[in-house]
């Protein structure tokens, strides 16, 4: 009874429009400014529509803000069926995604459709009136052909389980896509995409991933570059897949493959937010944390208690039967395996993320890093063969061999030092050897040395790396180098 009385009191106040902005006539739910000679103005209108002269006559209406904060406000779409009551803090977020909000058909810019309706009506309208844009799927897998030269496109993905709206757009050098649920489709579900060529002779695949998110006021946007839920793919990468008509094939997999997101959430480490795996440790009050974070912290991040140095064997045994998504899922990997197989997979995952080897913060998979190096570090020297002399300062050159990136370093001092490092790769560097031939044309002799390549070292200078080849230094002695695969 008390709630009903309070709700009626709120309705009476709203009917007087004392909480409404004098410019946009919308309900003020955040900052409210009292402008002399005008009245109450919402924060958005105050910033966007009030000039300096009007702002000089304004002051923050703290009393009204406090009153609004105490009320449970009805949704502005109450007359269309929404019975939610909201605090001023949650009001704007709800309005943007309210199922009863009237929005225009997303095909307005594709087929000049003037229909408008609520979220619950959209699925039926799209499937019935825009049938030629519907892509039928099977077992949550949808195959969509897209022109990467088209400014934007809209498709409806539909099968027996769900219907989704797919929007794509090209902005500058990026291809964007966003997938949104229609009707009762599950939201916040992660999905994977494989971008392929339509030509049977091109077997290249680029993998990306995204999250199925609710449509919030973006039905008719043409460009997705401002949409935080859109996934961006470099056009330069997709060009390698495009056929003569600039078309690629995209395979959307909306099947979560049995991963229980709720269970994975319970297994999240409170520090790094990664899913915990054995060993898992407990603090003195029973809070769990992963081993990596425990080693970095002096006390429990949850309760500030001391570490008991006790393993959480119950949780560790529980994780043995859980299917984990690969840690590189955001880079396109859609593998899901049990905990005992996860580490081995991630070590060799083709979507593994590397950092740029030029002390640059950029990260990405091997193909991305290679393109980034050639585009953003143009002073790097890429070569297919090397013939040079040793200098007093360390020289760096880069060679791509067997679809792998090698860093070649050398200089001369008291001795000549030479090393070949395999960088941005998860493959065993011992599978590769390099051969250096030191040439003395005047004396007509050649000294050949062999060594295995090794993984990237952080130590510098070069002569401190124990794995490098050394040779007694002589001025102007030429050499050449080649890389081979051992197996």
Confidence of residue 459 (pLDDT cuts 50, 70, 90): very low
Are 89 and 107 in the same domain?
Answer: no
Least confident window among 3-12, 274-283, 386-395: 386-395
Can you tell me the mean pLDDT for 236-242? 90
Confidence of residue 121 (pLDDT cuts 50, 70, 90): confident
Tell me, yes or no, whether 108 lies in a domain: yes
CA distance 46 to 59: 11
Query: Quick check: 444 pLDDT over 70?
Result: no
The Cα-based distances of 268 to 167, 277, 280 in angstroms read: 32, 9, 11
Which is more confidently placed, 68 or 419? 68
Confidence of residue 248 (pLDDT cuts 50, 70, 90): very high
Residue that finishes a domain, picked among 230, 253, 276:
253
Please work out, in degrees rounded to the nearest 5, the angle formed at the alpha carbon of residue 73 by the alpha carbons of 71 and 74.
155
Are 244 and 314 in the same domain?
Answer: no
Are 291 and 399 in the same domain?
Answer: no
- As for how many domains the chain has, the answer is 4
Token readout for 254 is 């909306």
The percentage of residues in the chain with a pLDDT greater than 90, rounded to a whole number, is 10
End-to-end C-alpha distance for the chain, whole angstroms: 81
Can you tell me the mean pLDDT for 21-48? 89
Are 79 and 34 in the same domain?
Answer: yes
Are 265 and 307 in the same domain?
Answer: yes
Tell me, yes or no, whether 358 lies in a domain: no
Tell me, yes or no, whether 146 lies in a domain: yes
Q: Cis link prior to 326 (omega < 30° from 0)? A: no
Can you tell me the mean pLDDT for 398-415? 74
CA distance 166 to 189: 15
Token readout for 88 is 């001023």
Of 411, 410, 408, 414, residue with least CA distance to 392: 411
Residues listed for the chain: 487
3-state secondary structure of 411: strand
Give the relative orientation of helices 88-97 and 62-70 as an angle to the nearest 10 degrees.
70
Tell me, yes or no, whether 431 lies in a domain: yes
Are 67 and 21 in the same domain?
Answer: yes
Tell me, yes or no, whether 354 lies in a domain: no
Of 240, 139, 252, residue with least CA distance to 198: 240
Residue that finishes a domain, picked among 47, 69, 97:
97
CA distance 325 to 337: 7
pLDDT for 470: 64
pLDDT for 1: 42
pLDDT for 217: 46
Query: Quick check: 370 pLDDT over 70?
Result: yes
Residue that finishes a domain, picked among 284, 315, 344:
344
Q: For 328, which DSSP code?
A: T
CA distance 175 to 192: 16
Are 122 and 234 in the same domain?
Answer: yes
Tell me, yes or no, whether 229 lies in a domain: yes
CATH number of the domain at 45, please: 3.30.40.10
Are 369 and 462 in the same domain?
Answer: yes
Are 117 and 249 in the same domain?
Answer: yes
Of 328, 348, 326, 324, residue with least CA distance to 338: 324
Can you tell me the mean pLDDT for 397-403? 76
The percentage of residues in the chain with a pLDDT greater than 70, rounded to a whole number, is 78
Confidence of residue 45 (pLDDT cuts 50, 70, 90): very high
Confidence of residue 196 (pLDDT cuts 50, 70, 90): very high
Token readout for 469 is 């080849």
CATH number of the domain at 137, please: 2.60.210.10
Are 73 and 129 in the same domain?
Answer: no
Least confident window among 25-39, 75-89, 110-124, 214-228: 214-228
Residues spanned by the domain of 476? 363-485
Are 389 and 448 in the same domain?
Answer: yes
Are 275 and 233 in the same domain?
Answer: no
CATH number of the domain at 395, please: 2.60.210
């Amino acid at each position: 009874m008390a709630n009903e009385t309070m709700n009626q009191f709120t309705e009476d106040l709203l009917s007087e429009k004392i909480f409404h902005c004098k410019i946009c006539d919308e309900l003020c739910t955040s900052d409210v400014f009292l402008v002399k000679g005008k009245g109450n103005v919402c924060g958005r209108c105050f910033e966007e529509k009030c000039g300096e002269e009007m702002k000089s006559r304004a002051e923050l209406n703290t009393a009204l803000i406090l009153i609004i904060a105490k009320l449970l406000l009805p949704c502005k779409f109450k007359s269309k069926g929404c019975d939610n009551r909201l605090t001023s803090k949650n009001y704007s977020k709800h309005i943007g995604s309210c199922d009863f909000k009237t929005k225009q058909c997303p095909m307005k810019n594709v087929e000049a459709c003037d229909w408008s309706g609520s979220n619950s009506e959209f699925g039926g309208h799209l499937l019935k009136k825009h049938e030629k844009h519907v892509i039928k799927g099977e077992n949550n897998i949808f195959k969509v052909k897209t022109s990467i030269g088209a400014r934007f496109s809209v498709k409806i993905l539909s099968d027996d389980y769900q219907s989704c709206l797919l929007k794509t757009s090209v902005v500058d050098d990026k291809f964007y896509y966003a997938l949104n649920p229609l009707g009762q489709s599950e939201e916040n579900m992660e999905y994977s995409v494989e971008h392929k060529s339509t030509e049977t002779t091109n077997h290249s695949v680029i993998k990306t991933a995204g999250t199925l998110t609710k449509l919030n006021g973006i039905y008719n946007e043409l460009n997705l570059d401002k949409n935080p839920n859109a996934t961006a793919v470099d056009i330069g990468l997709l060009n390698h897949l495009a056929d003569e008509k600039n078309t690629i094939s995209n395979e959307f997999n909306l099947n979560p493959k049995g991963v229980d997101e709720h269970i994975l959430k319970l297994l999240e480490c409170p520090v790094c937010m990664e899913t915990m795996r054995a060993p898992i440790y407990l603090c003195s009050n029973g809070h769990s944390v992963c081993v990596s974070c425990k080693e970095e912290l002096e006390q429990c991040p949850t309760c500030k208690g001391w570490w008991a140095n006790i393993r959480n064997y119950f949780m560790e045994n529980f994780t043995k039967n859980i299917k984990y998504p690969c840690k590189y899922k955001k880079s396109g990997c859609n593998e899901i395996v049990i905990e005992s197989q996860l580490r081995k997979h991630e070590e060799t995952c083709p979507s593994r993320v590397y950092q740029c080897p030029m002390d640059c913060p950029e990260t990405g998979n091997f193909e991305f890093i290679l393109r980034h190096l050639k585009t953003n570090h143009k002073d790097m020297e890429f070569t297919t063969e090397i013939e040079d002399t040793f200098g007093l300062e360390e020289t760096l050159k880069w060679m791509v061999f067997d679809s792998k990136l090698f860093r070649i370093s050398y200089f001369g001092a008291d001795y000549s030092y030479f090393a070949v490092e395999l960088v941005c790769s998860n493959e065993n560097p011992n599978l590769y050897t390099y051969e250096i031939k030191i040439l003395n044309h005047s004396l007509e002799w050649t000294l050949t040395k062999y060594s295995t390549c090794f993984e990237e070292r952080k130590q510098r200078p070069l002569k401190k790396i124990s794995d490098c080849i050394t040779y007694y230094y002589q001025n102007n002695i030429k050499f050449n180098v080649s890389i081979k695969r051992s197996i």
